[in-house]
Amino acid sequence: MELNKKQRILYRFIRTTFYLISLLPMRLLYVLSDVAYPFVFAFYRRKLVRQQLTECFPEKTIKEIKAIEHAFYHHFCDLVVEMIKQFSMSKEEMMRRMVFVDGDKAFSNFSSEQPILFLMLGHFGDWEWIASLAYWTDAYCSQVYHPLTDDVFDKLFLDLREHYGGECIPMRKTVRRLLQLNAKKQPVICGMIADQQPRWDAIHHFCQFLGHDSAVFIGTEELAKKFNSLVYYGSVRCIRRGYYECQLIPITINPQEMPDYEITDKYMELLEADIRQHPELWLWTHKRWTRTKEEWKERQQ
């Protein structure tokens, strides 16, 4: 994208500011996170977070819900400083803080007939650090993203996500770019975050997710069948503050043999299992259930 002069000045100012902050040791950045936490907790989407937690975990007491809220907002503030730290974090430090498990097993399934591996992820753990997978493999790493409406912050996030050597593919250009990569018959890993709700015109399937009939994206499944690609799920764990582990779990190595929507449903099942185990690590500040199945059916008439 091309920024105009005013945008370029703002971009350089924000990037420089973030870079200077990122030079602080991680322990001091977490102090900033702790200082910011009570303000973010008090003023940022508390009503939405409480509503969604209560609806998703009706079996939990209000005391348990509040405990999850506090843990979530602590983690949310940590995500912000962890993102800023990326501006100066070394390869060695990142590889200590984000470790990938069973990657070799997954990558051994690459072949000239199946050179593409889709890695399905959620807004869980520190999803921005997942792009560092490029440090762990010789495969060409990429991720599909939806461009932000703000051009300055869109460029900032692109810089961060491509910092590790991977490529960000705009959603509308996904098929064309994957066709180009597939033609080269070189191993390609394509990250797909698919746990947000789609637009009305992009809804084709609902599944049960956290106790709701949930509209889900089926784009990864459609692409996997089109390209006969490997499909894995990235299961993230927070080992301790600032340290994560991502296990690559196979969903299918034969997508064309899977019934319609089974890949998508399996992904949502795996993500839900992670969320139920560690609910504080999911992004509860996004509105997830404003598109109902009933209204969708009415719109089809």
- Opening angle at CA 219, ends 133 and 246, nearest 5: 25
What pLDDT shows up at residue 299?
Answer: 86
Quote the pLDDT of residue 1: 63
Alpha helices in 142-260 (DSSP H): 151-161, 174-183, 219-227
pTM comes to 0.93
Structure-block tokens of residue 163: 């910092």
At 104 the three-state DSSP class reads helix
User: Rounded CA gap, 76 and 99, in Å?
Assistant: 20
Quick one: tokens of 106? 């997954």
Do residues 275 and 124 make contact, with C-beta atoms less than 8 angstroms apart? Answer: yes
Q: How far apart are the C-alpha atoms of 151 and 1, rounded to whole Å? A: 8
| pLDDT score for 146 | 86
CA distances to 9, 10, 88, 162 from 16, rounded to whole Å, are 11, 10, 11, 17
Question: Structure tokens of 70?
Answer: 């506090």
| pLDDT tens digits along 64-109 | 999 999 999 999 999 999 999 999 999 999 999 999 999 999 999 9
Q: Which pLDDT value is given to residue 185? A: 86
* Residue 124: CB atoms within 10 Å: 23
Backbone angles phi, psi at 287, to 5 degrees: -70, 120
What's residue 147's pLDDT? 85
Q: How far is CA 198 from CA 122, 165, 211, 260, in A?
A: 14, 29, 18, 18
The predicted-structure confidence for 100-136, as pLDDT tens digits, reads as follows: 999 999 999 998 889 999 999 999 999 999 999 999 9
Distance (Å, rounded) from C-alpha 25 to C-alpha 265? 41
User: pLDDT below 50 — which residues of the chain?
Assistant: none
**Whether the Cβ atoms of residue 225 and residue 186 lie closer than 8 Å to each other:** no
Q: Is the four-CA dihedral 150, 153, 156, 160 of positive or negative sign?
A: negative
CA distances from 29 to 126, 241, 253, 281 (A): 15, 12, 41, 19
